């Protein structure tokens, strides 16, 4: 049985086609009714991917998030077919709600070719089985915020470095988080869906490195995803653990930059992701 939250993510990533190049995506509501940036970015990638040949897989997506939108209502996705070349297909995605643009994205898809293949190696970190689930990691804070830190989640997270709630209590926290993750239950072995789920996970976890630098947590600070870019290097295996090695190299003018490399358990580099988060005018703790 798939967890309710994971099932909701998978269901809402299955955007509904209403025209040759038009799709509608149901959102996941929350207390603030703001659309989750990583979620709508994943829906944009799914919409674009539905318009390319079956033998082409996503290799990059670049997203600008312009408005928060209302998660209680669906979003329209309009695709422009910019190019279908011998190897690469390019798509523009515009997401709107009530005539207002929420998101603009460029997505690119590639056919497989034989060429030079190289990568940087898997970092030396403890195996996921040697690390506790995040709920155990943050067990000392179980009474805070109505159990927020120990709640059930659709993604099993295993931190090799302190997550934001632990980092704020440390004298010199470092904006570097290595974390194993995998869905709590099996997901279909569909390459496009897996790339979209990877987009969702990076959109909701990378910001933690910038929060560590600011000595804050997702609970006690405002943040908004401004832009999000991913390069999909190799197929991701979501039947096993994925390692995210994330850092925040810069914070300036109320924005925090975060970037991560992601690896399959086998050591294959599957993705590089970069995003910028807006925190507003407030300073660190």
- pLDDT single digits (tens) 239-267: 999 999 999 999 999 899 999 999 999 99
**pLDDT digit string, tens, across residues 206-244:** 989 988 888 887 777 788 899 999 999 999 999 999 999
**Across residues 168-181, what is the average pLDDT?**
88
CA dihedral 122, 259, 78, 73 (to 10 degrees): 110
By the 10 Å C-beta count (0-12 exposed, 13-18 middle, 19+ buried), 222 is classed as exposed
Q: What is the pLDDT of residues 7-32, one digit of tens each?
A: 999 999 999 999 999 999 999 998 88
pLDDT (0 to 100) of residue 4:
58
- Look at residue 284 in the predicted model and tell me its pLDDT: 42
Distance from C-alpha of 12 to C-alpha of 193, rounded to nearest angstrom: 11
Tell me how far CA of residue 80 lies from CA of 69, 94, 196, in angstroms: 22, 8, 19
CATH match for 128-279 among 1.10.10.10, 2.40.160.210, 3.40.50.10190, 3.30.450.20 = 2.40.160.210
pLDDT for res 121: 94
**Number of residues that this document lists for the chain:** 285
- Spatial separation of the C-alpha atoms in residues 22 and 95, rounded to whole Å: 10
Q: pLDDT band at residue 88, thresholds of 50, 70 and 90?
A: very high
For the CA atoms of 134, 202, 37, 63, what is the dihedral angle to 10 degrees? Answer: 170
Reduced to 3 states (helix: H, G, I; strand: E, B; else coil), residue 196 is helix
- Is 281 exposed, middle or buried, given 0-12, 13-18 or 19+ CB atoms closer than 10 A? exposed
Average model confidence (pLDDT) across the chain: 92
Predicted TM-score of the model (pTM):
0.94
Is residue 98 classed exposed, middle or buried when 0-12, 13-18 and 19+ CB atoms within 10 A define those classes?
exposed
Please report the pLDDT score of residue 9 as a whole number.
96
**pLDDT tens track for 98-127:** 999 999 999 999 999 899 999 999 999 999
Q: How confident is the model at residue 167 (pLDDT cuts 50, 70, 90)?
A: confident
Least confident of 75-89, 92-106, 129-143, 185-199: 129-143
Class of domain 1-111: mainly beta
pLDDT at 161: 93
The structural domains of the chain, with segments of one domain joined by +, span 1-111, 128-279
Residue with the two structure tokens 């993750």: 181
| Dist. CA 59–CA 53, nearest whole Å | 14
Residue 209 sits at φ, ψ, to 5 deg, of -65, -40
Q: Give the model's pLDDT for residue 110.
A: 97
* Helices and strands per DSSP (H, E), number in the chain: 6, 12
Can you tell me the distance from the alpha carbon of 118 to that of 229, in angstroms, rounded to the nearest whole number? 21
128-279 has the same fold as 1-111: yes
């Amino acid at each position: 049985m798939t967890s309710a939250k994971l099932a909701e993510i998978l269901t809402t990533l299955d955007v509904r086609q209403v025209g040759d190049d038009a799709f509608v995506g149901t959102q996941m509501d929350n207390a603030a009714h703001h659309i989750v940036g990583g979620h709508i970015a994943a829906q944009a990638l799914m919409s674009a991917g539905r318009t390319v040949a079956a033998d082409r897989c996503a290799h990059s997506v670049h997203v600008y998030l312009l408005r928060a939108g209302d998660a209680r209502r669906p979003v329209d996705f309009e695709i422009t077919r910019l190019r279908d070349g011998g190897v690469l297909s390019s798509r523009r995605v515009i997401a709107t709600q009530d005539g207002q643009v929420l998101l603009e994205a460029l997505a690119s898809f590639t056919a497989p070719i034989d060429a030079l293949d190289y990568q940087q190696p898997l970092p030396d970190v403890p195996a996921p089985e040697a690390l506790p689930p995040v709920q155990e990691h943050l067990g000392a804070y179980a009474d805070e915020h109505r159990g927020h830190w120990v709640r059930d989640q659709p993604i099993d997270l295993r931190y090799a470095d302190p997550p934001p709630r632990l980092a704020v209590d440390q004298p010199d926290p470092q904006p570097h988080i290595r974390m194993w993750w995998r869905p709590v239950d099996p997901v279909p072995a569909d390459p496009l869906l897996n790339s979209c789920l990877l987009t969702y996970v990076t959109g909701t976890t990378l910001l933690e490195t910038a929060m560590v630098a600011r000595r804050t947590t997702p609970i006690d600070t405002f943040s908004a995803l401004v832009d999000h870019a991913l390069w999909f290097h190799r197929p991701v295996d979501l039947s096993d653990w994925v390692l995210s090695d994330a850092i925040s190299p810069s914070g300036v003018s109320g924005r925090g930059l975060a970037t991560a490399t992601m690896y399959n358990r086998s050591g294959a580099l599957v993705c590089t992701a970069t995003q910028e988060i807006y925190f507003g005018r407030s300073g660190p703790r």
